[in-house]
Amino acid sequence: MNFQYWNRRMETLPRDELEDYQLEALRVMVERALRTPFYSRELQKAGITGGASIKSLDDIRRIPFTTKHELREAYPYGMLSIPKEDIVRLHASSGTTGVPTTIYLSGEDIKRWTSFVARSIYATGCDKTDVFQNMITYGLFTGGLGFHYGAEEVGMLVIPSGPGNTAKQFQFMKDFGTTVLHATPSFLLHVESKMREEGVRREELRLKRAFAGAEPYSEDTRKRIEELLAIDVFNSYGLSEMNGPGVAFECQAKNGLHIWEDGYIAEIVNPDTLEPVAEGESGELVLTILCREATPILRYRTRDLTSFYTEPCSCGRTHRRLRRITGRSDDMLIINGVNLFPSQIEEVIMAIKEVGNNYLIQVEKEGALDRLTVKTEVGPDIFMDDARPLNALKEKIRRTLQATISISPRVELHESGTLPVSEGKAKRVIDTRPKDI
């Protein structure tokens, strides 16, 4: 395969040189962090009084972790390290408390972020001949503008269509020859369903690739999207606290996400002990940003669960690769004493060809026990008025899930297109159990 690089020297920098670069950048970030009200207090408690306190990359473990709770407590300006008049943009993510986590960017921050997104896009084989349709939410969410600027930097024609209105999306695809899509995996599956419903033929479209992110999804879901839309799907990883998209991305080899280590330091820790896991073992991803001056964030607990690949990538890049995000440490469901993640359920049902593109997990209390119900649409070739094959399919799903998650769920089958579809991040779990239980 003929791999292409946006910045060949930096993407293939020898590990010792890359780590030297990280160490110098970390010292700079510590100096910046000490200018913020939050870190000036927390770092000095840890005995870190300046960048010179960091003698090696191992010293990062002296820095205390940062959590989403602390970012909310620092709202609005407790994480700001530059004068307010030097800020040119803010992004924010909402939460259940109503207090957002707010990230500020200077003009230079946006340039650096744009460069990382452009590098990510280019690593998949895209170039300025492509037409990029951005079907993700714009606004305070970082995914829309982050990808928009990066795609323009590559030189692609960008269609900022946003989510929803599939009829208009198909019109854009046909009229402007869209070759690359960006959307959540759940919305890409919805697009395929709408193609059949609205009579759009695949040969009318010039689609080649799609970038899928903003929600965890399984390898079986990726394969399903690729087969249904006849495109290459690339996994994207980012979070607003670390700018947004462009933190890690798959290259043309599609074998793990290269985390751009000249912009981020990645650690993987045991979410219970907060100690580093052995190389290759799964744990919680912790990130330190090295490419932003306005909002320095050190050792941020992402809650995302992953592991590092231990072998090098065939593309020749030296930046380490993350395995697919399997879920979040705070998304784990405990059902009658059994621990499971929603991603385990998705992996099972998306591998069953008779199952449709949408599903929902419901957890409720029945007396003293928890009850798990898995609701899934059936494929378009399954007839809802034929009870025998439907019952056989329900039993197949139930048995396969029980073998995987050690719980026998209720299974409900729904006609294609009848379960709710989210235009942003899909809400896959509805847990109605009392919160004090």
> Tens of pLDDT along 80-111?
999 999 999 999 886 545 688 899 999 999 99
**Residue 45: pLDDT band with limits 50, 70, 90:** very high
> CB burial class (10 A; 0-12, 13-18, 19+) of residue 386?
exposed
Long-range contacts, stretch 203-206, CB < 8 angstroms, 24+ apart: 204/174, 205/170, 205/173, 205/174, 205/178, 206/131, 206/173, 206/177, 206/178, 206/179
Provide mean pLDDT across the span 58-79: 94
Phi, psi angles (nearest 5°) of residue 416: -55, 130
Inter-residue contact 327 to 217 (CB < 8 Å): no
pLDDT higher for 281 or 357? 281
Tokens 């960017």 sit at which residue?
105
To the nearest 10°, report the CA torsion of 132, 136, 139, 144: -40
Of the ranges 44-58, 121-135, 214-228, 254-268, which one carries the lowest mean pLDDT score? 214-228
**Residue 421: pLDDT band with limits 50, 70, 90:** confident
Q: d(Cα 361, Cα 350) in Å, to the nearest integer? A: 14
Domains of the chain (ranges plus CATH)? 1-329 (3.40.50.12780), 333-431 (3.30.300.30)
Provide mean pLDDT across the span 284-288: 98
> Tens of pLDDT along 211-263?
998 887 889 999 999 999 999 999 999 999 999 999 999 999 999 999 999 99
Q: d(Cα 288, Cα 310) in Å, to the nearest integer? A: 21
Provide mean pLDDT across the span 32-49: 95
**Residue 338: pLDDT band with limits 50, 70, 90:** confident
Cβ atoms within 10 Å of 98's Cβ, excluding its own:
7
Q: d(Cα 347, Cα 185) in Å, to the nearest integer? A: 13
Work out the percent of the chain whose per-residue pLDDT is above 90.
71
Q: SS3 of 269, please?
A: strand
Q: SS3 of 134, please?
A: strand
> Tens of pLDDT along 147-181?
999 999 999 999 999 988 999 999 999 999 999 99
Q: d(Cα 141, Cα 240) in Å, to the nearest integer? A: 7
Q: d(Cα 305, Cα 401) in Å, to the nearest integer? A: 21
For 395, half-sphere exposure in the C-beta direction (CA atoms, 13 angstrom radius) is: 6
Q: What is the pTM of this model?
A: 0.84
Q: Supply the mean pLDDT for the chain.
A: 92
**Per-residue model confidence (pLDDT) at position 428:** 85
